[in-house]
A and B are shown apart, each in its own frame.
Chain A
Amino acid sequence: GQQLNQSPQSMFIQEGEDVSMNCTSSSIFNTWLWYKQDPGEGPVLLIALYKAGELTSNGRLTAQFGITRKDSFLNISASIPSDVGIYFCAGPAGDTDKLIFGTGTRLQVFP
């Protein structure tokens, strides 16, 4: 079945640093979604990507839909303490709308 692998698994950075994480798949996705999840809460949608090569920003966050349609990248600039959480990539499985989620990247930001 389709799987999404995220890297890195975790990151420990200092406040103010930029962050990059990525998500790869062995199969093609038509939509890439990036979510952030805080402990005990549901995932919050950050950015949605619908076309290969698309680059979309949301404040300090920028995400790209890979040209091969098998990967996506999320960058966070000038990190702040509230960026702490788990970041998931997700995409619809096959011809359905049920989402497959990546393995997650846990971000810790130190002051």
Chain B
Amino acid sequence: DTGVSQDPRHKITKRGQNVTFRCDPISEHNRLYWYRQTLGQGPEFLTYFQNEAQLEKSRLLSDRFSAERPKGSFSTLEIQRTEQGDSAMYLCASSPRSHTDTQYFGPGTRLTVL
């Protein structure tokens, strides 16, 4: 039984560069979520998908952020023109049809913007 996987686990980039993260959910889960977590805080919701449809986006998701789930399987989160304030752990989660609110998280991608 494979869980949620994320790639890369760590990313260091310079301010102004674009970065892209990938998430592979648990295979039978149709919902996929992105969260951001800064040091000492709990995760904060960014956006989520049901199959390939993006159903909700948080106000935290500025125009520089875009997420896709083109075939309803894996998802990508892209940050354009990164800023130092984007440094955080980006977490992906997925949930099953039976309990869409019960989310299983991946190991996260730690982004550091220099």
> A interface vs B, CB < 8 Å?
30-31, 33, 35, 40-45, 48, 50, 88, 90-93, 96-104
A41 touches B108 (CB 8 A): yes
* Inter-chain residue pair count (beta carbon < 8 A): 64
Q: Which chain A residue shows the least CB distance to B105?
A: A42
23 contacts between A and B (CB under 8 A): A31-B102, A33-B102, A33-B103, A35-B105, A40-B110, A42-B6, A42-B89, A43-B91, A43-B105, A48-B99, A50-B99, A92-B101, A93-B45, A96-B56, A97-B31, A97-B95, A98-B45, A98-B58, A99-B33, A99-B35, A99-B101, A99-B103, A104-B42
A98 touches B107 (CB 8 A): no
A48 touches B102 (CB 8 A): yes
**Chain B, range 70-109, C-beta contacts under 8 Å to A:** 89, 91, 93, 95, 99-108
Main secondary structure, interface of B, reads: strand
Interface size on B, residues (CB 8 A): 27
Q: Which residues of B contact A35 (CB under 8 A)?
A: 105
CB A20 to nearest CB in B, in angstroms, measures 20
Q: Which residues of A contact B48 (CB under 8 A)?
A: 97-98
B43 at the interface (CB under 8 A from A): yes
- Known contacts A44-B105, A98-B33; 11 additional CB pairs below 8 A are A33-B102, A42-B91, A42-B107, A42-B108, A43-B105, A97-B100, A99-B33, A99-B35, A99-B43, A101-B44, A102-B42
